[in-house]
Structure 1
Amino acid sequence: MAFLLSLSGFAQECPNLTLPTAGATNVPVDTAISWEEVVGVTGYVVSLGTTPGGGEIVSNQPVGSVTTYNPPLGLPESTTIYVTITLFFFDQPDIICDAIPFTTRNEVNPPTCTNLNSPLDGDTGVNVGTNLSWNYAPRATGYRLTIGTAPGLGDIELNLDVGNTLSYNPPADFPAATEIFVEIVPYNENGIATGCTEESFITGSLGEPPGCTMLINPVDGQFNVALSPLLEWEPVPGATGYLLFIGRSPFENDVVDGAIFTTTSTFVFNFEPNNTYFVRIIPFNDAGQAVDCPQESFSTILGCGPFFDEETGELVVLNPEISFPDSIGICLGDIPRVVTAPDPADGYRWYRVTKSGDLLLISETATVELEETGNYIYEAYITTDDGQGSLLECASSSEFTVVASQEAQIDEFFIRQFGDFFNVETVVSGIGDYEFALAIDGPYQDSPEFNGLTEGNYTLYIRDKNGCGIVERPFRLLFPPTGFPPYFSPNGDGVNDLWNYIAPRIDPLPLRDIYIYDRYGKLLARINPNGRGWDGIYRGNPLPSSGYWYRAETFDNQVFRGYFSLVR
């Protein structure tokens, strides 16, 4: 980025072009202009000309906070174009950056086809006094229109050359309740577009369409607008509804795109600070939509940031830092759950997101009672002086999900011996989100398995992450010679000819059954812990020297697993 010295006295970055790059050649005429984002800037203003600082192609066009601009009529071919980007602020003078050049290529192909964007193909109830507009066709330098009341008829306009423009105002209203057919054929010096399809729309019935409206809160051009404002507009006689469009640039409705309202106000939640927003409201009734309603704009508060501090030249953000989890559990049998905001702030708001996507305010204090699962929004804000004698809110918000939760239930508990160490694993069930530890204060882990444990007494703690309680399970780890022998040798010499559990004198395990498997998991024997034991025979045949596994089950459903050797 290049650096300029603003009139307010601190260094400010000017962006470089990212597409096309400075000095690029052979650039297509339909290229969109893109540049680097400058943090803390309220918006950008773009000019395009054939001389440094000129604006004969586009002159001082505000584009909001986006960093891409599509010239509405494309660019002239075989021409050096100069891009001038102006950084727009509310709290200091604008900064005009140096012009950046690039050169377009000589186009040798005809243009492609285009489409109506107002009215859209297939629209109904269109105002009889509507104007037509269409999208830019790459490489086009002009357009021809055929308009009629039947396909290909052209009884309203026939092959009319409207020049290099993207709109047409018919000299007379269209007939009411009629399907209107429109063909738009782009052209340039290399020829006309081919294969363009005819589009159509149906006008509204006889009657008087409504007129346009205007914002009354915030008013057009207002700044320091709150981040969650109530948008209000003037009611229009005869209107049955309103179409609302909101975008961060004049060209794209990336916030609200044609939402229908039957009232004259709506809340818009959580605009970004230090940004300009563009609003168009179009009233309608059965006779059609209002025509040529203007676009209005307002800018959100800049006291919260990010903005440049004139004294330090650094970015400042006044919004509170929040640290709210993505998910919270409500414990079955203990509803409602009272949750307290974890972050210091001047005020709080809690919203529940309804099934229709609306926001229902459920608390304006630091605590909230949560009674049902679903999606919620937590907002914390700090109030600050806006420099004009009023207070404004600097808010931060976080979406979170409320889920049902409960204490864990232990289904199985496995103990496996590996040499001088044990591995312990538990299987739990329940609708909670669980973590595991061998001390009540942790550390806790997501895995239900603990490896490399030595002989001793332990307690397993299973904690619900959503705060619905801790389940405890004591267990004991013991090594042979009392317990499960590490080997036996069934060779008939009377020493270690049988393998079985050897109960210790103190705290023997209350075993019910022992199962023996080969290394592939095949069941070889089931023995009684109080019986004779296993002799290394399977279906009458002595098994070879190898490693074998056991699974021992207690009367209280503990499971012990381990490894031993058969030696011959």
Structure 2
Amino acid sequence: MNTVLLSDLDIQIAQNPSKVSISYFPNLTEAENNTNELNTIYEPINSINTLYARVTNTTSGCFIITDIYIEVSDLPKYNIPPTLRKCSESLTANFDLSIQSDFIQVSPIPEAQQIGYFTNHEDAVSNTNSLASEEILNFEAINGDVIFVRLKSQKTGCFITTSFEININPFPTIPIQDVTVKCAANSQTTISAATGTTGETYLWSTGATTPEIVLNNDGDYWVTVTSSLGCSNTKNFKISTSRTASVLTIEEIIFTDENSIVVNASGSDNYIFSLDDSAPQNSNVFKDIPIGYHTVTVADLYDCVGIAQQQILVLGFPKFFTPNGDGTHETWHLTDADIRSNATVSIYDRYGKLLKVLNANDPGWDGKFNGRDMPETDYWFRAAIANNEDLIIAKGHFSLVRN
């Protein structure tokens, strides 16, 4: 039932309602006698209703009576709009809100109607701050936004408000790598697209519809996962077989200077490298290695073959020496006494001629060969170090400077 708040009419009857007392009555006689005053909340009986207002001066007690006509019109008929939904990688998306207009308005539309969109209920009631046309056609929303709609009859001026919600749902995140490598010894590999969310459906390029499948052959595959909210995502991926050998070996360790090495290995397609107890790395280069013994470990990234290990020795030696008689840097030898005690060091000139062999007790090379001073230039050395049952060979070069 439609109701009218009679006190809202006071301002239409008196210019200053605060200085008078206004009462409402169903007929003239009762208004004159001031009996059977109507409640403030009035329920109209007919489409057109006549009431009488008694306006009394609160100072003098004098009053006048005026008649009031209340016409009751039906509110616009409407349909409750549905929730707008969209899938997005983020929780924001753009929507065309105008698609709701045809759904909200009852067809056939009985009279000319005005429809507006608002971001809060207060604005919809007061018809302020309505969304502009360009905003309605391309509204930037976040998940959970509520849009309020005002539908007004152009004939009667009556209006209703309703609302609808905006839901922005994420695409499923499929936990499959771009490339999955299986070992040659394993003819099968299991691939899972399950995201841990209930209600999802799956479709694989093989035709399977289960969360995971077993694949035997290398090749390109895809899977489409659809959430319970209707958002779909497709993941393309590749299956390949790792080339393996029976043994993973370290072919060569190159000392680029006294504290850096490059490790070359064979037996797999993809390696990871570690030095002593360090975390594995993809690079085969190690820099700033402390002087002393170290263990290099090479492993297959996909764990298809075993590991290979080799002990290395990072030597400490002077990059130059100055045999000029001033008592400083007069000889050249390995700097670590413990390593020197197990080493035999051969020194060569640039042409490969052997100039000196240093043993554990030698004080070092004095820059002479057969009693003659050798010229200022670079010289090379080869150190053979006994380490338990192994013999470690290390090479390097240094400079002889006389000035």
* TM-score bin, normalised by smaller chain: 0.3 to 0.5
After TM superposition, the score normalised by the length of structure 1 is: 0.34
Greater per-residue helix proportion:
2
Higher gyration radius (CA): 2
